[in-house]
Structure formats: C-alpha cells, structure tokens
Amino acid sequence: MPTTDVPVPLSRRLRAVRGSAIRDLLTLTARDDVLSLAGGLPAADLLPRERIAVAADRVVSSPASVQYGETAGLARLRDVVAAHEAARLERPVAPSDVVVTSGSQQALDLLARAVLDPGDPVVVEDPCYVGALQVFQAAGADVRPVPLDADGLRVDVLAERLAGGFRPRLVHTVSSFHNPRGVTLCQERRRELAALADRYGFLAVEDDPYGLLSFADAAPRPLAAHGDRVVRLGSASKVVAPALRVGWLVGPPALTAGVELLKQSTDLCGSALTQSIAAELLADDAWFAGHLRTVRAANRGRAAALTGAVDEVFGDRVVRSTPTGGMFCWLDFIDGTDATALLPRALEHGVGFVPGSAFAVGADQSHGARCCFASYPEPLLVEAVRRLGEASRPAREQGK
C-alpha cells in the first residue's frame, strides 16, 4: 500500500530533543572506504567472542535463560554487580541496590523519569555526552551547562552558582575518561562534588562506562566512594561487548524501587539470556581481569599511535587531550578550522570523526572534534590521521 503523509501531533518534549549526530554519522562512516574515528565502538578484534560463545553454550541449557525474568534483573547478575561495586567503593553494596537495564542509556532514561519533573534544573558538562542531553531534553528538564577543564567538571563554578541560590535536581558527570573530552574528574573535585550534593540535596549521577578502561593498573576511585547522594551507572558494553545490551544502576532503595516500577512499563524485563551470559563472564574474576589487561594494553598503544600521529601531522595547529584511559581523544583546531565544515571533506578523504558542535550545550565547540582511538589497530589510526590532515589542508594546497 502507498504511504500517506498523515499529520501526527507530537509532544512538546519530543520536539525539544536534539538528534544524535553520532548515530546519524554511523551510516556515513559505515562505508568500507572510510576509517571512522566517530563512533565509540570497542575494537572488534578485542571483543571476546570465543569466551562469549562458551558462556552462551553453558547458560542456554537452563530453561530460565530463555524465559521472562525479574524486572530488576537476573538475581545472579545483580549479585555479581553488587560485589564488583562493593570492591570499587570499599563499602557494602546490596543486590537490592542494583537494577539491571538494557545498557546504561536505559538506566539514565529511567533515572530521569523517576526523579525529574518538567522544568527541573539539571546540570550537565559542556561539552556533554549526547545521550545524556537527549534524556534530559526528553524529560523536559531545564538543562544548565557547567564547563570542563583538564581536571573534569568545574566544581568551583557549580559551587559559586549553588552559593548564589541555584538548586539543581541532578548533576550529571561522566567522571572517568569523559565522553567526549577524555578528561577525568580529579579526586579532590570528586570529594567536593559529593560534599555539595550532601549540602544542597541534589543527586549526583556518576555515568561510568569507561572507569575500568584506565591505562593505569587501578581504575579511578568512584565519585560514589565520597558520598551517599551519588547514583552510579555502569555497563558491560565497553568492557565486554555492546551487543549484550547489559547495563545497571546502583542507588538507594527508594530510587531503585522507582526505577524498577518504571521499567515494568518500559520492557517488563530485560533479556535473561544476555544477562546470564554477562553474569557468567563478570563472575569469572581471573578471566575478566585478564581480559581487561589485554584491552587496556591495546588501547594504551592505540591512544599513543593516534596522539603521536596528530602531533606529527598537525603540529601547533591543534591542541589535543592526552588520554589516560577510556576511548576518546579531543582535538581543538586553534588555527580557526570549523570542524563541522571539515567533516564532509574528511569523508571524501575516507575518514570520519564527530564535530565538537554535536556535544555543545552553551559554549562554542565548533573548533573541536572527538576521535575514538579504540576501534582500530595502530597502523590504521595513523592512516586515519594522515587522511584527516589532507582533508584539513586549505583547498589551494590540496590542488598542488
């Protein structure tokens, strides 16, 4: 049947939601001839497919793994996540404090729906993780940006606003190896932010999918280790495999009960099969520790390859971040290059990235670019930067 353009009234909340430039870019950068630094994709060669296959074969023999499950998540997985969180926070975490979700993005969405009313003020970092911005826009929140620097969220700026009477409902931070900037909130600021949450009564949301990907031996001590008014979001996507779609929220009982209630109306329950696989992998301490060592070492080398190539190709035209973990390097074109205008030329040269404007909330990010170093081995990263350098040369030089 032919389709007709039937007008459908859409909500004001939906009209306020910005599309994700990253999701849109995945179609353009999926071409075989494009080296994409755009998506936050773990390297395919580091995904533990064989170990996942063994776990899948083991768990699928249980009828429970292919049946409906509990809304809050598979009991065994909640036990495992609680144990991991307790070890990182150095305090007890009960399985009842954990809600398993379809990736940490669903956890953030459910959290926002549980605690925000339209118009509630929410603090985000600027530049901001696009997925968080979409969630808060969809919730009808009054989004207030606070800048970042090399030590993460400018907690001093937030403190000044709070002293002046500003009262946010939530403060969201990607505390470790920030997406998109790659910076990490230092421990002094973590203590200060937790203290501000206690003093002024807001919830701090610690979005932490990258913390275990530290290039150092130990992951950064979580923000939640410094105070009780912190909700933690985690995920197996970056440390095991995205396709499992397993994430989690860890918070106080009143909040997890509310999130569980909302989750019932969203999907009834998650996949018992993928949760069983995730539980099998995360509970295997020896294997998981070895897997993380492999991924960290590979990413450390890949980050060094990308940053070294940036320094060689761009010189003083670019100021870049220095990754110490995670997946991202941020470039600032200080020669006046507009990254959004550069992107089409870059794609013509066979390389993709995300322009900084995609992450902007208040400040001008037009000269910024996010590059993911995790997806390719070193030689391809060097080639990608070479192509980006060619694309960024003035048109008159490219014709020579």
Last residue of a domain, one of 261, 284, 307: 284
Span 141-193, pLDDT tens digits: 999 999 999 999 999 999 999 999 999 999 999 999 999 999 999 999 999 99
Q: Quote the pLDDT of residue 14.
A: 66
The DSSP 8-state label assigned to residue 225 in this structure reads G
Q: Is the domain of 23 the same as that of 89?
A: no
pLDDT at 399: 42
Is 50 exceeded by the pLDDT of residue 219? yes
- The average pLDDT across 72-90 equals 98
Residues 228 and 254 in one domain: yes
pLDDT of 115 > 90? The answer is yes
- Coil/strand/helix, residue 30: coil
Residue 157 placed within a domain: yes
Report the alpha-carbon angle 274-49-383, nearest 5.
125
Task: Indicate whether 19 and 99 sit together in one domain.
Answer: no
Quick check: is 174 in a domain?
A: yes
Residue 370 lies in a domain: yes
pLDDT of residue 23: 55
pLDDT over 50 (residue 396): no
Q: List the CATH number of the domain containing 29.
A: 3.90.1150.10
- What confidence tens digit (pLDDT) does each residue in 252-304 have? 999 999 999 999 999 999 999 999 999 999 999 999 999 999 999 999 999 99
Instruction: Identify whether residues 244 and 221 lie together within a single domain.
Output: yes
**Does 4 fall in a domain?**
no
Give the number of domains in the chain.
Answer: 2
With CA atoms as reference, report the closest residue to 236 among 224, 249, 248. 248
Q: Are residues 112 and 162 in the same domain?
A: yes
Tell me what the mean pLDDT of segment 105-133 comes to: 97
Question: Phi and psi for 126 in degrees, rounded to 5?
Answer: -130, 110
Q: Which residue range(s) make up the domain with 92?
A: 49-284
pLDDT for the residue 397 = 56
**Of the candidates 284, 300, 332, which is a domain's last residue?**
284
- What confidence tens digit (pLDDT) does each residue in 189-207 have? 999 999 999 999 999 999 9
pLDDT exceeds 80 at position 60:
yes
Where a domain ends, among 284, 314, 344? 284
Average pLDDT on 77-98 reads 97
- The answer to the question of residue 398 being in a domain is no
Q: Is residue 176 part of a domain?
A: yes
HSE (side-chain half, CA atoms, 13 Å) at 83: 11
What is the DSSP code string of 39-104?
A: S-PPPGGGS-HHHHHHHHHHHTTSGGGGS---TT--HHHHHHHHHHHHHHHTS---GGGEEEESHH
The H helix count followed by the E strand count for the chain is 14, 14
pLDDT of residue 357 exceeding 90: yes
Annotate 102-128 with b (16+ C-beta within 10 A) or e (fewer): bbbbbbbbbbbbbbbeeebbbbbbbbb
Please check whether residues 39 and 54 belong to one and the same domain. Answer: no
Do 277 and 348 share a structural domain? no
Domain with residue 224: its CATH number is: 3.40.640.10
Query: Average pLDDT of the chain?
Result: 93
- Domain assignment present for residue 42? The answer is yes
In a domain, 350, yes or no: yes
Q: What's the pLDDT band for 400 if we cut at 50, 70, 90?
A: very low
Query: Which is higher by pLDDT, 400 or 394?
Result: 394
pLDDT at 126 over 50: yes
237 and 351 part of one domain = no
Residue 393's pLDDT band, with cuts at 50, 70 and 90, is confident
Both 372 and 330 in one domain: the answer is yes
Across 331-349, average pLDDT? 95
| Domain identity same for 318 and 280 | no
Q: Is there a single domain that holds both residue 330 and residue 244?
A: no
- Claim to verify: residue 43 and residue 153 sit in the same structural domain: no
Query: Quick one: pLDDT at residue 7?
Result: 74
